[in-house]
Amino acid sequence: MANDGLSAGAAARRLGVAVTTLRTWHQRYGLGPSRHEPGHHRRYTLEDMGRLQVMQRLTAQGVAPAEAAAWARRSPDVASPSSTTSSPSSAASSSAASSSAPPSPSPAPPCEASADSLESSSGVLERSSGTLAGSSGSLEGSSGSLAGAPGSFAGSSAPAGGGQTIALGPRADPAARGLARAAMRLDGPAMRFILDGAIAGRGVIATWEQLIMPVLIGVGERYEATARFVEVEHLLSRSVTEALSGVPRPPWEIAPRALLAAADEEQHTLPLEALAAALAESGVPSRLLGARVPSQALLDAVERTGPAVVVLWSQLRSTGDVAQLERLLALPHPPLVLAAAGPGWPAPDLPPEVTVFRGLADAVRIVAAASR
Ligand code: B12
């Protein structure tokens, strides 16, 4: 169906939003379908879909709908096949640059990332435009980033048992809802857009606590209740890893004095990745060994690098073997601070020399102090 455009229902499915939402965006903000043939319903063109995608991404990030619509209307060529040659991202950012005062997010923005949003959004648009252009102008046939999972109205406060949702609770941050929705749609670019904007606007610790943690915990609960959505968990984890590793690291000349590792057989590493990124944000370098570090490998790494502080993460009870900590403490030169982090450690059985963190902010504070 080249260039025939999409019906409202098909457009809503592609975007992963309700048809009523599309109607509201049309009636209140003028983001309607532009293709019209006498005697037929109006249809959404590629250009319309590009504008709607901008609208969806910005509102998902917590930008007020009227502001988001203003930006969406200024990106007329974002999804046009012809715009791939004239770089839609530069079109979007030049329209932003030509505006003397870019619209700011809502009065109490959940994410202060207006300018950052636009920079990030241009990256997203570039990718999505390429995808659409690659589908020979056919919206029906494309399977790219506009293809949202049908009916995935995730990020609601629905109970964990029902539907294709991630339950976040009624007080969840709007950006966390956007992240949950993007995760359920398996929309990697949208997840990066939200995460990058939040990290730039709020910093790593707030992004971890307000967005990433609630959505990870929600996905975990969905998995526990349904034994499904492993694919969501994987792509979300991947997107979080990418966003956290995008935080600039301190200059390499500063030798890291903190060593971060996951316990033997422990595959959960995201909290350590958040710790490394948050430390980097405050100018503190660290060495992150990653998942499943055998006890002997950790001892070797400590002996070779002589860190002041070692953080060992255990998520699962089965990986929280205290012997790993005892072996570190028995080294001729043990670290000044040895921290057991994560819910896998048996708190009452930990040696008294071991430090326990209460959370990410606590960990950043203690590791940064011990690294100086
Ligand atoms: C992402 C994820 C994965 C990813 C990990 C990717 C990665 N690179 O890390 C993958 C897909 C690899 C994975 C694998 C598995 N997973 Co998993 N996973 C998760 C998920 C969704 C998030 C993990 C995470 O990062 N948690 C960290 C934060 C977000 O959550 P939290 O630990 O509850 O937070 C508390 C504290 O840790 C603390 N805190 C939070 N952040 C920080 C940061 C710092 C620095 C500190 C100090 C403290 C701190 O505050 C919170 C309140 O107390 C959790 C759900 C969950 N609730 O954790 C399941 C979860 C941990 N996984 C689970 C399971 C069962 C598995 C598998 C066994 C599945 C399988 N069948 O293969 C494997 C285990 C593999 C292994 N041997 O390690 C279960 C564990 C159940 C249990 N209690 O034993 C969970 C809880 C999901 C569930 N509800 O069923 N998983």
- CB 79 within 8 Å of CB 55: no
Residues with Cβ < 8 Å from 332, sequence gap 6 or more? none
Ligand 1: centre distance to CA 290 (Å): 14
The pair phi, psi for residue 313, each rounded to 5°, is: -95, 130
Report helix, strand or coil for 319: helix
Ligand 1: centre distance to CA 59 (Å): 29
pTM over 0.75: no
Q: Which two tokens stand for residue 307?
A: 């860190």
Atom of ligand 1 nearest to the CA of 272: 45
Residues with Cβ < 8 Å from 171, sequence gap 6 or more? none
Decide yes or no: CATH 1.10.1240 for domain 149-246. Answer: yes
CA distances (Å), origin 120, targets 92, 195, 200: 11, 10, 10
Residue 309's nearest CA partner among 249, 357, 265, 245 is 357
**HSE (side-chain half, CA atoms, 13 Å) at 249:** 16
The burial class, CB within 10 Å (0-12 / 13-18 / 19+), for 330 is: exposed
Ligand 1: centre distance to CA 271 (Å): 9
What distance in Å separates the CA atoms of residue 298 and residue 323, rounded to the nearest whole number? 12
Task: For a ligand 1 pocket test, name from 234, 268, 317, 362 the mutation site with the most ligand atoms within 8 angstroms of its C-beta.
Answer: 268
Hey, whose CA ends up nearest to atom 59 of ligand 1?
220
Any residues with Cβ below 6 Å from ligand 1, and which? 213, 216-217, 219-221, 223-224, 233-234, 237, 265-271, 274-275, 315-317, 341-343, 357, 359-360, 363
Report helix, strand or coil for 350: coil
Ligand 1: centre distance to CA 293 (Å): 17
CA distances (Å), origin 229, targets 146, 218, 219, 269, 300: 20, 11, 8, 19, 38
Backbone torsion region of residue 306, taken as left when φ is above 0, otherwise alpha when ψ lies between -120 and 50, otherwise beta: left
CATH superfamily of domain region 258-371: Cobalamin-binding domain (3.40.50.280)
Hey, whose CA ends up nearest to atom 33 of ligand 1?
217
Backbone torsion region of residue 56, taken as left when φ is above 0, otherwise alpha when ψ lies between -120 and 50, otherwise beta: alpha
Hey, whose CA ends up nearest to atom 19 of ligand 1?
220
List strands edge to edge, sheet with 354-356.
287-290, 258-262, 309-313, 337-341, 354-356
pLDDT of 305 reads 97
Domain segments of the chain as ranges: 1-147, 149-246, 258-371
pLDDT of 170 reads 86
What distance in Å separates the CA atoms of residue 189 and residue 130, rounded to the nearest whole number? 13
Pick the CATH number of 1-147 from 3.90.550.10, 3.40.50.970, 1.10.1660.10, 3.30.450.20: 1.10.1660.10
Hey, how many other C-beta atoms are within 10 angstroms of the C-beta on 267? 12
Looking at the chain, how many residues does it have? 372
pLDDT of 163 reads 56
Task: For a ligand 1 pocket test, name from 211, 223, 315 the mutation site with the most ligand atoms within 8 angstroms of its C-beta.
Answer: 315
pLDDT of 145 reads 32
Atom of ligand 1 nearest to the CA of 275: 45
Query: What is the biggest distance separating any 2 CA atoms in the chain, rounded to whole angstroms?
Result: 85
Q: Which two tokens stand for residue 358?
A: 């209460």
Average confidence (pLDDT) per 10 residues, the chain, 372 residues: 75 85 92 83 88 86 83 63 31 33 32 28 32 29 30 38 73 93 93 94 97 97 94 98 97 95 98 98 98 98 98 98 98 97 96 96 98 92
Ligand 1: centre distance to CA 351 (Å): 24
Atom of ligand 1 nearest to the CA of 240: 8
Ligand 1: centre distance to CA 116 (Å): 30
